[in-house]
Amino acid sequence: MKHIGWLLFVLYSSNALSAGEVEIPLLAETAHLQTAISRVLDFDENGQSTISNDLCNRVELSDMVVVTDGDQLSVGMALTATTGGYVLGACRGPKPWQGRLALKLTPKVMASGQAIEFVPDSIELSRPDSTPGILTKPAQIIADALVLPRMKRVQIDLTGPLNGLDGLIVQMLGQGGEGALVQRTRITRLQTEETGVRAWLAFQVRAPEPDLREPEPILDDSELAEWQTLEDELDGFLTTIISALAYSTESRILRLELLAVLLDARHAIAEALTVDDPDYDPVRELFLSTWDRLRPLMSELERLKTPALDADFRLATFIAGGDALRALDALGPEYGFEITRDGLRRLARLLLAESAPPSFTPLPLEVDPEFRDLFGLDTSNEAEFTTEELAGQISGGLSWLGSWLFPAAHADSIPPEEALKGLVPQRDNLDAYLELVASLLEKQTNAWLAENDRLPDTMAERLDPLVRATAWKESCWRHLVSSRDGPQVLRSAGGAVGMMQINGRVWRNVYDLERLVDEVDYNVNAGIEILTHYLLDYAIRKGEHEQPGGDDNLIKATYAAYNGGPGHLARYRREDTAISLKAIDNAFWNHYTTIKAEQWPDISSCYSVGG
């Protein structure tokens, strides 16, 4: 709940400031602070430093530890102090003193408002046993002379990040943005906390005069195409950013949560593209809702060691950039905040610097093995089982379908995926058609189980009815439909295709979009992989079976996520779920329980039967 409190602060912070002024946080972690101190003390890559006026008077430093202590920074390190003088050309003096050096630094905002300085308050030495020792005073003198002057130069210069934030704000304010930024971003106050020093950044914008804001005309066809390109740009931006964040951590759980955010955003974009309303502005809403889910995950990344994102406060500045956009939106529509393609690119550069692509469109459509591997989608099972690999996998489970089906021997004579090519279900071929589909679904499910042992035994036996019920609810077991131009792949309004209704926009980089259309077995295998992914990596991991209802919940949650995205995982048990979604889930569950009981699903729910 911690991030919710932060969000409420951002949403209402402008009430406590001047009109159009907001504050956003930027965290300088203790790792950043230690890096700044290491630089002024000339620490090498091994974490050691030697500072000297001459060979007779020097200090050797190592083992630095930086923590916060109240409103100060506490810096400790091992110190070896050598003091002496030259006698007859040789350095003479006592044995080097060894112990610990402890510094107290107070962070302060510099007059420029662009940097943080750390003012030394004390420097103390102690022996390893914490006693002063007879030679501590000479060591203290040389430490004061050599270390303290350098510590007075410790600064965190945020000029670059703040300039980047200003450019982002101007870009997102649209026309007249430069003049609308009346107070550039600056550091207003500091707050020391366990993880580092939080700098509160403030900027002020001016709303355009009302008479300058003329009503916008209805979008023409070219403008609508441009709007769709912006949605594509948002998709590409999120894919690039979330992949970069996932690469920065080895945590599988964090990667799965990042993937869930991406998949839900892609589902939302696909749905937005179906809305035929020229006044509908989904991009800003999609960006902000996605940001609200990403931010706590990035806050968790901040607490981890992420060297790839630590350079020049990249992650912290990127978070501050998104926070600034959220704060601009909270000021109200009169300030003219809008998401633009150039703005998304500028925001991406805050994190990726020069490696940010010049454009996030056109969307890459090919399968990306690195993307699949990054998010734990096993490349060895990329929805691709050959007919030879599937031969002999059918276990006789079709016997329950009834005597009205063709004999099993006939079904085995031609692989079902071959027999289904170009075949559209009609009344006169319905029995044979449904048998072929049933054969294909069982065949592919058994093949997946033969290649994978990740499912618990109690859930492995439920996979077959889960696959069948999903295919029945999603497509009525259809891959093709009739048209004036001949058989065409079944497509939903949102762009989902084929028997398992796989949305290429949602699953780009993961599956071959042409094969999802052209090959029914590839489409089915993709659906099985997605179902098992949601079952294992989300439903079971998040403990849906621990809710009232037990293992049945895993099936319900898996289908809910399959149908709507990971964010829909618990919709089947939530009271605030939309009636339309409850109807979808209830229909699926009826299909599942019927099929699990080894009965044929209600044919009339999909097809006209009888005289």
Q: What tens digit of pLDDT does each residue of 513-544 get? A: 999 999 999 999 999 999 999 999 999 999 99
Residue closest to 527 by CA, chosen among 489, 552, 559, 551: 559
CA quadruple 521, 522, 523, 526: dihedral sign: positive
Cis before 362 (ω within 30)? yes
Segments of the chain with pLDDT less than 70: 1-17, 88, 129-135, 175-177, 208-227, 276-281, 305-311, 378-412, 609-611
CA quadruple 72, 77, 80, 86: dihedral sign: negative
| 404 exposure class (CB count in 10 Å sphere: 0-12, 13-18, 19+) | exposed
CB neighbours of residue 438 within 10 Å? 22
**pLDDT for the residue 221:** 62
**pLDDT for the residue 507:** 96
Residue closest to 182 by CA, chosen among 174, 171, 172, 170: 170
- The pair phi, psi for residue 490, each rounded to 5°, is -70, 125
- The pair phi, psi for residue 556, each rounded to 5°, is -60, -45
Structural domains present in the chain:
28-86+94-157 (no CATH), 162-187+222-363 (no CATH), 385-605 (1.10.530)
Q: Torsion over CA of 136, 137, 142 and 145, rounded to 10 degrees? A: 130
- The pair phi, psi for residue 602, each rounded to 5°, is -65, 100
Side chain identity at residue 380, one-letter code: S
CB 111 within 8 A of CB 125: no
**pLDDT for the residue 225:** 65
Residue closest to 241 by CA, chosen among 85, 357, 114: 357
**pLDDT for the residue 255:** 96
* pLDDT tens track for 459-477: 999 999 999 999 999 999 9
**pLDDT for the residue 63:** 95
Residues 6+ apart with CB under 8 A from 562: 470, 527, 530, 531, 534
CB 490 within 8 A of CB 499: yes
DSSP lists the bridge partners of residue 62 as 48, 78
Residue closest to 537 by CA, chosen among 512, 569, 511: 569
- The two structure tokens encoding residue 439: 């054969």
CB 81 within 8 A of CB 139: yes
Side chain identity at residue 403, one-letter code: S
DSSP lists the bridge partners of residue 76 as 65, 102
Kindly report the CA angle at 541 between 536 and 546, in degrees rounded to 5?
Answer: 110
**pLDDT for the residue 175:** 65
**Strand arrangement, sheet containing 57-69:** 48-54, 57-69, 72-82, 97-109, 115-126, 155-157
